[in-house]
Each structure stands twice: as C-alpha cells, then as structure tokens.
Structure 1
Amino acid sequence: MRLSKDQLVEGIPAEQARELMRIYRVNPGLTEFAVDLLEVGEADAEKLLERFVEAGYLEIAERDRNGVAWWFTTIRGNALANASFAKPITRATAQRHLDGFLERVRTYNADRSKPYSVTRVTVFGSYLDSTQDRLGDLDLAIQVVRRGSTEEYLKRRDAITAASSRRFGSYFERLVWPLRELGLYLKDRKPAINITDEDVSALTDQWSNVYDIRADESAEQPPENATVEGLS
C-alpha cells in the first residue's frame, strides 16, 4: 500500500493513521493509545476508532461489563501499518526487485546453516495489474518455517546470534534476531518492497504464488508440519 503525506485516512493525516495502526498491531489495546497519539478526548478517539472499524482497518473485542473497548488490527489494518510514502516505481523496477528477492530466497534456502526456510512467496497488489506502469510498491507475502528437529533448529538459531556483531538490549532481542536478520536480508534495504506474512487470500482475490520451496531443488526442505514463524 502506498500513501501520500497530504492524504487523509478516515479523516486524519495518513502518517497518523499509519502510526495508529502500528500501535494497535503490536499492542492491541485500549482507546487511551489513540488518545495519546492524536491528543484528543476519549469520546472523540473512540468515534475515530469506530470509523476505522467500519472501514475494515480495526476490529473491536466485546466490551467488558464496564463498557471498556479493546481494539486490534485486521489484515487491512496491518497493510496500512506497513504502508509506504515512497515515490512510485516503474514496472521494470518492480520486476528487478522481484527477481532479486526471489534470488535471495533461493540463496537463503540453499544455506544449510540457516534455522528457517521461506516456503512460499506470493505477489499481490498493483504489480498484478498489467495496465499500470507506475506502481506504489512491490507487495509480497511469505511463509517462514523452522528447519530440522527442535534441537537442530535451536542450535542453528543460537549460532546465528552468536556470530552477530550486534549489541542486544534484551534477551528478547537476542531471541528474535535470526528471524529479523532474515527479514532484513530479504528486503535488502529496498523501501519499495513491502513484506507481510499474512494470508493475503483473505485480503484480496488478486494474488499469485511466484515461489514454492518444493520446486526448488537446491533448497534444504523443511520437515512436514514445520512450525510457522510470524515476522512481526
């Protein structure tokens, strides 16, 4: 999804709307999060959040007996959270990005030292509209799973962290670094590449699978029923 900075989303600036979705994606929670971000009263914040519900960006859990609401993002809301303000790219540039992305997927999957496998890559969004030559970004959905037995997976994951020169602020940061490293490697600092791990078939009927690990002879094949990892 691409936005312009002068655009409004449900009545608020696009940058604020994206930040709002990022907050509720990471920490589903109370109306107070919107109060603090938008600097409005609770009643106004709740009316705004209800508009985002009606537009399909948020869902609301059943209110408790005190009438307190609990908000969380939908797939569409997560897409807004990942929206880009980058300039449009040409179809030729998008194709180069896609070719490079798939090559990095194949390289990663062929490396026997890695703890994960990218089992599927799906392209969706404006790339699939052949009538468009100027595209907002390259929207890709991937599935990532753990490799090997639990013991082998943990050994590889910890080796990746030990080999890193990064300084980690917490145990959790150390724990998730190998998965974050994978995401950074695949994106390759390309702002026009937008990656999600969600089921895009629930978001749109315009999608196409462009990589399946089962057809990749150089890849280390993960075990059946391998644990699926979430990117966020």
Structure 2
Amino acid sequence: MQINPKETLFGHPILKVREVVRQAMRCRLWGSSEKELHEKVAKALKQSLVSAQELAKQLVDDGYLLFEKKIFGEDDVQFELNETEKGRRFGVANAGKPISRQKATQLLNELIERAKAINHRKELAYYVESIRVFGSYLSDKEALGDLDIGVKLARKNNFTELEDNRIELARQSGRQFSNYSEVLDWPHREVMMLLKARKRGLSLHDIDEDKVFKVAETNLVFQYRKGKTTGKTFL
C-alpha cells in the first residue's frame, strides 16, 4: 500500500495518523482510563487531548481501530485501541517514492552485511538474531513501495552491564531523553538505527512488537545462533 505524505486524513497529516495506528500495532495504546488512553494518542499525534479523542473516534468509526474495554477481576479495567486488518495495511503503508526490485535487493544485501558487523561489536547490548523479508518484495512486482523487513533483536548475556554503558555513553555524547521509557529503550533503538543506516526505501519492523507478523507471509534471510550466522546474498 502506498500513501501520499502530503495528504491529510480526518483533517490531520496522514503520516501522523499512520503513527497513531502504528502505536496501536505495537500494543502501546492502552490505559486504566479512557483519558489515559487518549493521552497516549495525543502524544503520538502531537496534538491536544480533544483532537486525539476526535481522531480515535474517527479511526474506530472508519474501521482502522477497535476500541476495547477489558475487565480483569473486580476493579481492574483496561481500555485499549487495537488495529483491524484495514488498520494494519495502513500502518505498514509506504510514503516514499517507489524503488526498483534491483535497488531493494541491494538494500537487503547491505542490511545483512550490517547485521553481521553489528553482531561482531561486543560493546552493544543487543545482537541481531534474525531478519525476515515480507510485503511486496515477495511478489513478482518490479516497482516496490519499499523493502519491508522484520527484525528480531536479542539481549546479550551481560545485558545489564552493557545497557548501563550504552545509556551512559549516549548521555555523554549529548543525547537527551524525554522520559525514563526512552532511556530504557535506547540500547534497542540504537541497534535498530545502526541497521536502518538512514537508508531510503528500507522499512524496519520489530518482530516482537508488530502484530503484522502474526499474519504476514515472511521469508527468513538472516539467522544468528550460538555464534553461527546464516545469511543469504541476493542477486
């Protein structure tokens, strides 16, 4: 699915609306009250609480998201926004210019080489356990929206020590974090950024967080196990 980044949806920039749906795909839109839930929508949308409430309703009414109220025991209530199949397709939609299959193959080969290099870096807190291709690359199309990649990272045995070191190094380098969650997420995000390498046309998704991998057809292209790496080279 391709979207125009200059368009709007429900009166908001379409990329911001897509980010709200992606937060739902990552199971991050929930709260013990509807207000707490909508505050998380507002953060993703970067708009007021009122605007977030209105957008959430529109996304539900139009079939992108499902609003659910879950009850655990007598007093424990959780409100959630979860994506539908329509929302999932929108959430992984590409907003960039189409790329050729040849370019996508080049991006894939370069990504695998970066994964191998990352796994040789002892100072990082995570290693790349596996990489899977999904989406239009598995079709016979020559023009692709982008190269959709699922990545699974794993913690190293001395994770706590490495985590502390990477966070401290980031702070010393001038990186700022807006909250404690961002601090804890940094060692994981750091490796994902190294994999991405700011490459246009490359779309990375966390296999452990993104529900699309429960239904999407995928092709394993890289596997790291017990010091051994299995990685293909594509032509």
* TM-score where L is the length of structure 2: 0.70
Q: If each structure's strand is expressed as a fraction of its own residues, which one has the higher value?
A: 2
Match of 1:49 among 19, 42, 60: 60
Matches within 5 A, 1:211-222: 211-214=222-225, 217=228
Letter in 2 for 1:62: K
RMSD: 3.6
Q: Taking structure 1 as reference, are residues 7 and 167 closer, same or farther at Cα in structure 2, changes over 3 Å only? A: closer
Q: Taking structure 1 as reference, are residues 23 and 176 closer, same or farther at Cα in structure 2, changes over 3 Å only? A: closer
- CA contact under 8 A between 1:91 and 1:127: conserved in structure 2? yes
1:203 maps to 215
Letter in 1 for 2:176: F
Matched, 1:137 2:137: no
2:74 maps to none
Cα separation, 1, equivalents of 2:229 and 2:14: 43
Q: Taking structure 1 as reference, are residues 12 and 143 closer, same or farther at Cα in structure 2, changes over 3 Å only? A: same
Q: Taking structure 1 as reference, are residues 133 and 10 closer, same or farther at Cα in structure 2, changes over 3 Å only? A: farther
Letter in 2 for 1:177: W
The CA deviation string for residues 151-179 of structure 1, in whole angstroms up to 9 with x for no partner, is x2111122222333133234443332211
Percent of aligned pairs sharing the same letter: 29
Matched, 1:113 2:123: yes
Matched, 1:166 2:166: no
Q: Taking structure 1 as reference, are residues 79 and 182 closer, same or farther at Cα in structure 2, changes over 3 Å only? A: farther
- CA contact under 8 A between 2:29 and 2:82: conserved in structure 1? no
Runs (5+) with no aligned partner, structure 1: 220-232
Letter in 2 for 1:97: L
- CA contact under 8 A between 2:10 and 2:58: conserved in structure 1? no
Matched, 1:157 2:163: yes
Match of 1:146 among 149, 155, 158: 155
Match of 1:103 among 108, 113, 118: 113
Match of 1:27 among 20, 26, 29: 29
Letter in 1 for 2:189: R
Matches within 5 A, 1:26-105: 26-28=28-30, 30=34, 33=41, 39=51, 46=57, 48-52=59-63, 57-62=64-69, 70-74=79-83, 76=85, 77=87, 80-105=90-115
Q: Taking structure 1 as reference, are residues 58 and 69 closer, same or farther at Cα in structure 2, changes over 3 Å only? A: farther
Shift of 1:103: 0.7
* TM-score where L is the length of structure 1: 0.71
1:128 maps to 138
Runs (5+) with no aligned partner, structure 2: 72-76, 231-235
